[in-house]
Amino acid sequence: MSKVIVVTSGKGGVGKTTTSAAFAAGLASKGHRTAVIDFDVGLRNLDLIMGVERRVVYDFVNVINGEATLRQALIKDKRVDNLFILPASQTRDKDALTKEGVESVINELKTDGFEYIVCDSPAGIEKGAFMALYFADEAIIVTNPEVSSVRDSDRILGILQSKSRAAEDGNVVKEHLVITRYSPERVDLGDMISLEDIVDILSVPLLAVIPESDSVLQASNNGVPVIMNLESQAGQAYMDMTSRFLGEDVPHRFLDIEKKGFFKKLFG
């Protein structure tokens, strides 16, 4: 049975597209046929992070408008079997997305045997974001450990619980929390909200904590989902996240200040 999973946030710049790319790549690497859709019409960043920007010929809006078939628009990842990307249009307006059009694409992906359909939502509550979350079975709420990000995430939770199709049908969208750019050292200094406080404020089950890491920016610049760099803490955390989502019992890591051994203290 196919699942539609929206990756969303109230605030921009929290690592939502990075999370969508890493999560989709993680699902595919574990043998699940996965499509990731960019709903950010007019901006289009997912294809850059996935490293397929030069291969974009047709996009999501072309498919909705009947200007291309879904198979023409889907880009198969060359590095991970079972992973496909549906890019957003860079030249259209967000009004190009319609409920009927989005539903048609999602239904076709389900018919084509995709087990997971990951919807990379724009930030905020405008039309693209609403379209991304409307058909969701599950939602991954991405937030940073700062007050404005957590507050805006709470607003998105309210929309999921009231305006999604599941809510209209009297059902519930299953929610997961992912905290990105987490630094235990900065939490200890009082510069960031603690993990416990974020979970308490949002009351959403914690799926993953992604540590602050230069490897995320490096991966994005190289067009490689950071989950493919399993030498990095961020890559490991995203793989843990994927395993946890699939039901594996994986303990959380990178939550505490790393204790430096004698040689690390001596040589840095």
pTM: 0.93
Q: Can you tell me the mean pLDDT for 212-229?
A: 95
Please give the order of strands across the beta sheet that includes 3-8.
75-76, 83-86, 34-38, 116-120, 3-8, 138-143, 174-182, 206-211
Could you tell me the pLDDT band of residue 267, with boundaries at 50, 70 and 90? low
> Could you tell me where the beta strands, DSSP code E, fall in the chain?
3-8, 34-38, 75-76, 83-86, 116-120, 138-143, 174-182, 206-211
The whole-chain average pLDDT of the chain stands at: 93
Instruction: With CA atoms as reference, report the closest residue to 45 among 223, 214, 204, 191.
Output: 223
Q: Is the pLDDT of residue 94 over 80?
A: no
Q: Answer whether 26's CB lies under 8 Å from 227's CB.
A: yes
Q: Is the pLDDT of residue 132 over 80?
A: yes
Give me the pLDDT at residue 260, please: 59
The better pLDDT of the pair 137, 260 is held by 137
Q: pLDDT exceeding 90 applies to what percent of the chain?
A: 85
